Structure 1
Amino acid sequence: MRRRSLTGPAAVFMSAAGLAAALLGTAPAGAVTTQPVITLDTPAPVALAAAPATADVSFDFQTKAKNLKAYDATLTVDARGLSKIAKVTFSDNCTVKGLVATCSEMFESASSPTTHMGAVTRLTLTPLKGAALGASGTYKVTGHSAHAQIVGGTGQAEVGGPSFGLDALTDHTGLKVGSTVGEPVRFTNVGNRPAKGVQTVLAASPGLDFADHYANCKYAYNGTIHFAECYPKGAITIGETAALAAPVRLRVNSAALYTYLDTMTGPLGQPGWPDGQGLKWTWGTGATLNLKVIKAGRTSSAPAGSVSLPQTGTTTDYRITSLQARNTADFGVSGASAQAGVGKNATFAFHLSAGGPATLYDRSGGEGVPTVWVTLPPGTTAVGHSANCGPWQDHNPTAEAHGPYVCAPSGIVLPKGRSPTSV
């Protein structure tokens, strides 16, 4: 059965890459019914490291059609445009003739407004010996199904690329509310091509504000996280270590307790950069943020690239630092007693309260959310519960009948004043 996943804000950074699938229209009486549409998300460009390293290419699709079943789908991948730069192999679901593959697929959508579906079809690319750094090629994906229109697209691969290794950031504890802390951002181009420039995304969790608003940075807020996306000028040569000319300054506000700064850096123009989430960006009006060279790199005749090589080993372009404040968050539970006669039902209602001043922010994605354990009185049996509660162990009839039950807020961010109800 076709793998599928639903949309949702599962991470701090969410990519905005991908095309919107066409809406499924309703045809007038007597007209030909419009087929549902399955659309290929725009494939991210691939930078190929030196052989024997390989690069895998996968394909993701989306549809707005609900409860669609297209088990007869076929994808055709024409990779002849890659013949001068890479050896191409295809996944086992494909019949291959030269560099053109016909691949069987099955797509199935859910009842949600948009369903994202991953294809079985894969490409594995190995750069040809002697292929020039910067050389590129393209491939084309088309599709067919009797049950849907499949909209394909074109992808690109190129030989070599920059790759930024971001230095570890410094964790902080015991920060005073109202104080300002600086976080240096330093990185090295460990790739085999220079970069025309650098772009850096910063995300500050609840309790932190950016103290500076540079003219070459844009800023946004989604109601929980403060974002900054900066474009300091300066080419980055191979092997060069550079840093933002000034540390990222963060102001610790009254909502701070367990807070975090996410930092991601890449070559200027990196496709698929996390710039989505429907955010409204505003450019800063302060000074210009520059780069400073910590260690000079080496010159190269290779053209500058904007597609990063895959990260390998301990090299990473993404870091998270923890900033803990000296603060408190008043979290509690309150409710009322309930009584009922033998054989009757009683409803026990209570609510979870976040009194602040700090915001409770569970970075684990749910594992660390504050919870309440409810132990049922002897001689009682649970006959129902709210969506915020459940037995401590799933698929256990004894736990479902006699508990204990675990109740938690509906979200992972609990600012002061929110009182999610549980029953």
Structure 2
Amino acid sequence: MRRRSLTGPAAVFMSAAALAGALLGTAPAGAVTGRPVITLDSPQPVALPAAPATADVSFDFQTKAKNLQADDATLTVDARGLSKIAKVTFSDNCTVKGLVATCTEMFLSQSSPTTHMGGDTRLTLTPLKGAALGATGTYQVTGRSAHAQIVGGTGRVEVGGPSFGLDKLTDHTGLKVGSTVSEPVRFTNVGDRPAKGVQTVLAVSPGLDFADHYSNCKYSSGSIHMAECYPKGAIALGETAALAAPVRLRVNSAALYTYLDTMTAPLGQPGWPSDQGVKWTWGKGPTLQLKVVKAGRNSSVPAGSVSLPQTGDTTDYRITSLQAHNTADFGVTGASARAGQGQNAKFAFRLSANGPAILYDRSGGEGVPTVWVTPPAGTTVVGHSANCGPWQEHNSTAAAHGPYVCGPPGIELSKGQVTDFSLTLRADEVVTHAKGSVQLVWGPDPAHSHRPAFDPDSRNDSATLTLN
């Protein structure tokens, strides 16, 4: 099943924890053909919802080859192993005979490695009437190309599954630095099969720390703190359960805009969460338990470990906003230089994050300050650092005479972080003490800049560029 994924700021959490990442397939040992290798990412198991709902299957590939051009690729999907549990419909790029499809594909890659190449081939699965909950089947994917070796794989499909719907969490504002806040975590199994247990991932953004460390949770360090917990207890159909103790978080001196991300899945959900690239340490405190809030119903249906696709308002992922009462000061510096007529002068200036709080922006970049630079009169811009560019693309006047917009990298600006910028200007005429400006901007442009309450000091928001 292709798990829920995030874009923009939330993607920071998902990529850091590798929560929804599929386990990558690898080429078999000793497979030396002289041709580049394209490998199918291991297909994630699929849990079929009750008809008439459907489940979609798509495929991702990876390669270590550079300048790959396999425009003659063909995939063969043999779905005969699903004949007793599902109706299978293939995408339009496939020629189908029975439950075997031959599908045209084109794989192009200019970088190395390429870890995500989406295929065009799709399967739509609908459970057959009378298919027993818990029944399983498999399908095989193979491929060929004159320009590459394609390594396929096997996918598994089962009828029905558990599905955990997380309750909404409470947002907070005005939290005092040094305080502790509690968030209860409660969920309901709204699926059609029980689960043997639950696995929960909690992630807190910079400015928050876990107040408790349980022995059945493992923890990661770094900018994003994560906890992966395994409280014991089966989850019956319709049962509402909760972590026996709320998640307690300490608000530290770096807190400003902070978040708690919570995600749940049936115990054993394949490929989730993935430990790739994350170093964990098991807690040494008490055991985190589950408590039953509302009893479910008994069922003879076998328990499942593959979650059904989430639909409607049901979600196994929640983000809680916890805003602290704190400050984060930002400032800019200017520069001066000398140049004769026709000569170039390089101006180096910077944006500084003075803290104490970390600005952690999950809006997609809208909440991060930018620096607007107006060159001195009588100059032409002939060069700039990679993190600067003219305020309007494809505008020759802006490219030559500005203003230029410079921005910090990423979405996290910590106390003490300095971002350096530069513009190289040609002196077209010599003007004594020609002045340009460096301006800190919150918003789309200086005319619509709105100073945030967390940065009350405006004295370091502007500086000058002086030539000669």
Query: TM bucket by the smaller chain?
Result: over 0.9
Deviations 1:245-275 (A, max 9, x none): 0000101111111111110011111112133
In 2, Cα distance between the equivalents of 1:23 and 1:421? 46
Q: Which residue of 2 aligns with 1:18?
A: 23
Deviation at residue 172 of structure 1 after TM alignment: 0.8
Q: Is the 8 A contact 1:94 1:104 kept in 2?
A: yes
Q: Which residue of 2 aligns with 1:350?
A: 349
Q: Which residue of 2 aligns with 1:390?
A: 389
Q: Is the 8 A contact 2:63 2:112 kept in 1?
A: no
Q: Please, which moves more after superposition, 378-387 or 146-155?
A: 378-387
Deviations 1:138-185 (A, max 9, x none): 000000011111100000111111111111111111111111110110
Matched, 1:273 2:278: no
Q: Which residue of 1 aligns with 2:370?
A: 371
- Quick one: structure 1 residues 276 and 394, their matched pair in 2 at CA, closer, same or farther if it must change by over 3 Å? farther
In 1, Cα distance between the equivalents of 2:38 and 2:157? 24
| Structure 1 unpaired stretches of 5+ | 1-8
Q: Which residue of 1 aligns with 2:339?
A: 340
Q: Please, which moves more after superposition, 354-363 or 155-164?
A: 354-363
- Provide the secondary structure at the position in 2 that maps to 1:398: helix
Deviation at residue 399 of structure 1 after TM alignment: 2.2
In 2, Cα distance between the equivalents of 1:409 and 1:229? 32
1:195-206 mapped onto 2 (5 Å cutoff): 195-206=195-206
Deviation at residue 16 of structure 1 after TM alignment: 4.2
The higher radius of gyration belongs to 2
Q: Which residue of 2 aligns with 1:86?
A: 86
Q: Which residue of 1 aligns with 2:150?
A: 150
Q: Which residue of 1 aligns with 2:191?
A: 191
In 2, Cα distance between the equivalents of 1:106 and 1:297? 49
Q: Which residue of 1 aligns with 2:304?
A: 305
- The RMSD of aligned alpha carbons is 1.9
Q: Is the 8 A contact 1:244 1:289 kept in 2?
A: yes
Deviation at residue 339 of structure 1 after TM alignment: 3.6
Deviation at residue 331 of structure 1 after TM alignment: 1.2
In 2, Cα distance between the equivalents of 1:205 and 1:17? 24
In 1, Cα distance between the equivalents of 2:312 and 2:285? 38
Q: Is the 8 A contact 2:48 2:127 kept in 1?
A: yes
Q: Which residue of 2 aligns with 1:324?
A: 323
Deviations 1:2-47 (A, max 9, x none): xxxxxxx94312244233544999x9xxxx8622111000111111
AA of the residue aligned to 2:390: P
Q: Which residue of 1 aligns with 2:45?
A: 45
In 2, Cα distance between the equivalents of 1:248 and 1:68? 48
Identity across matched positions, percent:
81
Q: Is the 8 A contact 1:16 1:276 kept in 2?
A: no
Deviation at residue 364 of structure 1 after TM alignment: 2.5
Q: Which residue of 2 aligns with 1:291?
A: 290
- Quick one: structure 1 residues 22 and 370, their matched pair in 2 at CA, closer, same or farther if it must change by over 3 Å? farther
Q: Which residue of 2 aligns with 1:61?
A: 61
Q: Which residue of 1 aligns with 2:106?
A: 106
| Structure 2 unpaired stretches of 5+ | 1-9, 423-468
- Provide the secondary structure at the position in 2 that maps to 1:265: strand
In 1, Cα distance between the equivalents of 2:37 and 2:288? 45
Q: Is the 8 A contact 1:262 1:319 kept in 2?
A: yes
In 2, Cα distance between the equivalents of 1:35 and 1:242? 53
Q: Which residue of 2 aligns with 1:6?
A: none
AA of the residue aligned to 1:211: A
In 1, Cα distance between the equivalents of 2:361 and 2:343? 39
In 2, Cα distance between the equivalents of 1:391 and 1:274? 42
AA of the residue aligned to 1:18: L
Q: Which residue of 1 aligns with 2:232?
A: 233
Q: Please, which moves more after superposition, 366-375 or 170-179?
A: 366-375
Deviations 1:281-337 (A, max 9, x none): 111110010111111111112111111111111111100011111111121111322
Q: In the comparison of the two structures, how many residue pairs are matched?
A: 409
Q: Which residue of 1 aligns with 2:208?
A: 208
In 2, Cα distance between the equivalents of 1:300 and 1:388? 59
